[in-house]
Amino acid sequence: MRRNFIAKQLYAAGLIATLWLLPLAAFAQQTQVVAPKNKYKVQDDVKLGAQAASEVEKQFPTINDRDSEAYLQRIGDRLVRSIPRQFDQPAFNYRFKWVNASDLNAFALPGGPMYVNRGMLQAAKNEGELAGVMAHEISHVALRHATAQATKQSSVKNTLGTIGLILGGAILGGQTGAQAGALAAAAWQTKYSREYETQSDTLGAQIMADAGYDPRDLANVFRTIAGEGGGGAPEWLSSHPDPGNRYEKIIREAQYLRVSPNPIKITRDFERIQSRFRSMPPARTMAEIQKQGGGQGTENPTAGGRYTRNVPNPSQRAKEFNEVSWARVWIPDNWREFGNQNAVQFAPDGAYGDQGITHGMMMGVYPSSNGTLRADTEAYVNETLQANQYLRAQTRLTSRSLARRQGLTLQLAGRSPITGDTEVVNIYTTRLRDGSLFYAVTVVPSNQVNVYSNTFQNVLGSIELN
In 264-359, beta strands by DSSP E: 318-321, 327-332, 335-339, 343-348, 352-353, 356-357
H/E element, 201: helix 194-211
Strands 318-321 and 113-117: unpaired
The domain covering 318-465 belongs, at the CATH homologous superfamily level, to Mog1/PsbP, alpha/beta/alpha sandwich (3.40.1000.10)
What's residue 288's pLDDT? 76
Domains of the chain: which residue ranges? 25-291, 318-465
Mean per-residue pLDDT over the chain, rounded: 81
Positions in the chain short of pLDDT 70: 1-28, 153-191, 226, 228-244, 290-300, 340-341, 369
Task: Tell me which amino acid residue 154 is.
Answer: S
- Say what the pLDDT of residue 180 is: 36
Give the pLDDT of residue 204. Answer: 97
Half-sphere exposure of 141 (CA within 13 A, CB side): 36
- According to the model, what pLDDT value does residue 26 have? 44
- CA dist., res. 56 & res. 95, Å (int): 13
Residues 308, 445: contact at Cβ < 8 Å? Answer: no
pLDDT in tens, 7-52: 344 344 443 333 333 444 444 589 999 999 999 999 999 988 887 8
Compute the 3-state secondary structure of the chain and give helix, strand, coil in percent, each to the nearest 5: 45, 20, 35
Q: CA dihedral defined by 188, 201, 122, 289, rounded to 10 degrees? A: 0
pLDDT of residue 371: 78
For residues 86 and 105, what is the distance between their CA atoms, to the nearest angstrom? 28
According to the model, what pLDDT value does residue 252 have? Answer: 94
CA distances from 144 to 34, 47, 112 (A): 11, 13, 10
Q: How far is CA 309 from the centre of its chain?
A: 32
pLDDT (0 to 100) of residue 193: 75
